[in-house]
A and B are shown apart, each in its own frame.
Chain A
Amino acid sequence: MRRYLRYTGQFAFFLLIAAFIGYFSNQPVYQQTPDGMAQIKLSFAHGAARKVDCRKLSSKEIARLPANERRPNTCARERIPVHIQLMLDGELLYDAQLQATGLSQDGPARTYRKLIVPAGPHTIVARLRDTKRGSGFDYEAERQVTLKPFQNLAIDFKADSGGFQFR
């Protein structure tokens, strides 16, 4: 009798462990994005203008340089920050001055932002300034979109391709 009780106990133990593993291998469900919401993902890597403009070297300056380093212009490495704004239905959703990356701040400024917004029709305006102009923006794009629940709208920026890209 005692032996059968032990077998029953062993069976119950394995049943319990199997149920534990089976359940927690994919339950309970985790809700990453609330119902009725969508996501705008703004991400790009872009190099702004240099802080100090490139300057033409004089012939004397060029002559002083080692033969393998002679070039017509000299440029400071540091870049100015990129100013980015994202507006949703007239409201400012994201506004940032993105510093250039790199130890000498000569790399591209970059951002990666996830913004959770209600699904539905929206007007999205994206603006970017990458020059030393005091006001206004160098790039601006406006889109009318209807976001479905859980939709992911990616906004990228590629200066070579004309600016903002909505995907």
Chain B
Amino acid sequence: MNMARLMLRRGFNVAEGVLGQVFPPAWNPMLNLGALGFFFYWIITVSGIYIYIFFDTGVLNAYASIEYMTHEQWYLAGIMRSFHRYASDALILVMMLHLLREFARDRYRGVRWFSWVTGVPIMVMVFVAGISGYWLVWDKLAQYIAIVSTEWLDMLPIFGEPIARNFLSPDALESRFFTLMIFMHIAIPLIALVILWVHLQRVAKPRINPPRGLAISVFAALIALSLVHPALSQAPADLAVVPGKVGLDWFYLPLFPALETLPGSLTWGMSACLLAIMIAMPWLPPLKRARPAAVDLANCNGCARCFHDCPYNAISMVARSDGTAFEREPAVNPDLCVSCGLCAGACPTSMPFRRLSELSPGIDLPDRTMAQLRDLTETAARNLTGTERIMVFGCDTGPDLAEVSSKSVGVVPLVCIGQLPPAFIDYVLSRNLADGVVLTGCRENSCNARCGIEWTNSRLAGERDPHLRARVPRDLLRTAWVGATGGRQLHHALQALVRELKDADVDVRPAPAVKCPPTACEAVDA
């Protein structure tokens, strides 16, 4: 499983990297799979409502009504039909990629089990809704689907009489089955929408709309496809004739030939096993989970920055319990915390300048504390030599920091770049621990902890607390959101910064504030 995950992760990293060269970070389709899924859902809904107006729900006239839409009213209903079809196919594509990507990035275990498990019925419902939709066209493909699906269902010993007998011969055909299919085709997507809402309950600020530019581009691509290659019906269904050759929609029906040819006990057994494995996956094999963030009330003033910055709704603000004058205190729900450290990065008491008292923020990761982070930074700084010393802060899911580590480049790993309080940058430069700082991590819009890069950019820009102080020379700071495969880009960013430091006519580096060794310094934060 680990091998499969690593290979998939590598594949996704490469795909995201390639698309990152072509698209702006916010537009990268690989980083908008969930949002694109929602977008396709709305296209399917709107186009479905329109074609339902012209659709004859009787089994005898259904085919003719769709032919009317396709050929007589091709300019609107025909395009809507194609839209309906292709957006449904695209939904399967992005849904499966979304599922594989979350698996590849190991974002389905631990506290993330809820989103994974609620995603499984959504996936099943999307398939069932799509398959029932093909049924309604009542062409050769619909006949094939109707017969194979009912024969497969008949393999379960729960029906008194084989339901496939409804399609034994032309005179056996009744409209009641058709009515059931129409009901299913409308009801199942509505139920799926409700479960989608549940699916997102543990995600703070979910992105359910793609960026406008990407949405317009996708929309235009679907229109072009609908015009160039409109969705057409196959020959009308005729139960006196077997379908023979049939054009399958391989997005929805790749398993139908297997359902038809393999024994029912095998296909039902495999389906049940696959479903059970999918649902059990968050617990198989068990995840070695880092301890959740812990609150230290002695250093917490209840400012709620951690509450606002948590991307997983794991923190709530509750009434103060320690008798101090502050009104509220954060409470961490360990069942929701992914130990990303964004809360610690947001805490105003995560201040590396503190020396008189222990560096213990109001909220911190027990396994990777701020004090340890400062120790790592100082250790890395002590080993730096040369005149253009650079300190790189990077997250675990970003580029391999060991590849850039050298005598003049120190590296400090973090769970997520959002764990880094901006004060650390100030600390490194003002204490002359290095001559420049580079922050690196996942690709923009692809943060493994969802909001780490966005919060960091906002903090550096002074748009989100805690701000990077104005006294920090921005010329000495670079960000390189390049992802796991972006080692070369990070290397280039480092070289560029080194060149600028060398070439600077005026030394922009601040004079060291304190000349003593870092560990011996007193608190001097102004």
A-side interface residues toward B, CB under 8 Å? 6, 9-10, 13-15, 17-18, 20-22, 24-27, 29-33, 35, 38-39, 41, 43, 45, 101, 107-108, 110, 112, 149-152, 154, 156, 167
Contacts and interface: CB of A to CB of B under 8 A. Distances in A.
Nearest to A5: B22
B85 interface: yes
Contacts of B169: 152, 154, 156, 167
B254 to A, nearest CB: 9
B247 A27 contact: yes
A30 B245 contact: yes
Nearest to A27: B247
Interface string B131-170: 0000000000100100000010010010011101100111
Contacts of A35: 244
Contacts of B221: 14-15, 17-18
B221 to A, nearest CB: 4
Contacts of A112: 151, 154, 162, 164-165
A149 B243 CA distance: 11
The DSSP consensus for interface residues of chain B is helix
22 contacts: A13-B22, A17-B93, A18-B221, A18-B222, A21-B90, A25-B86, A25-B231, A25-B249, A27-B250, A29-B248, A32-B243, A32-B246, A32-B260, A33-B242, A33-B243, A39-B242, A110-B161, A112-B154, A151-B240, A154-B168, A154-B172, A154-B239
Interface in B20-56: 21-23, 29
A101 B157 CA distance: 9
B235 to A, nearest CB: 11
Contact of B165 (A6, A29, A43, A152): A43
Contact of A10 (B22, B240, B246, B251): B22
B203 interface: no
Interface string B206-226: 000000000001101110110
A155 B160 CA distance: 19
A152 B239 contact: yes
Nearest to A13: B22
B234 to A, nearest CB: 8
Contact of B89 (A21, A32, A149): A21
B161 A21 contact: no
B242 A43 contact: no
Contact of A24 (B19, B21, B89): B89
B225 A22 contact: yes
A-B pairs, 5 with minimum CB distance: A9-B22, A26-B247, A154-B169, A167-B169, A14-B221
Nearest to A149: B244
B425 to A, nearest CB: 30
A101 B228 CA distance: 53
Nearest to A24: B250
A37 to B, nearest CB: 9
B162 A43 contact: yes
A32 B86 CA distance: 24
A123 B467 CA distance: 89
A151 B242 CA distance: 6
A150 B89 contact: no
Nearest to B253: A30
Nearest to B222: A18
Interface centre among A20, A26, A43 (most CB of B within 10 A): A26
A21 B241 contact: no
A112 to B, nearest CB: 5
A66 B321 CA distance: 72
Contact of B241 (A10, A17, A150, A167): A150
Contacts of A167: 168-171
Contact of A21 (B21, B93, B243): B93
Contacts of B260: 32
A107 B160 CA distance: 8
B515 interface: no
B369 to A, nearest CB: 42
A10 B217 contact: yes
A58 to B, nearest CB: 35
A74 B154 CA distance: 33
B171 A32 contact: no
B262 to A, nearest CB: 14
Interface centre among B86, B225, B229, B244 (most CB of A within 10 A): B244
A32 B247 contact: no
A86 to B, nearest CB: 15
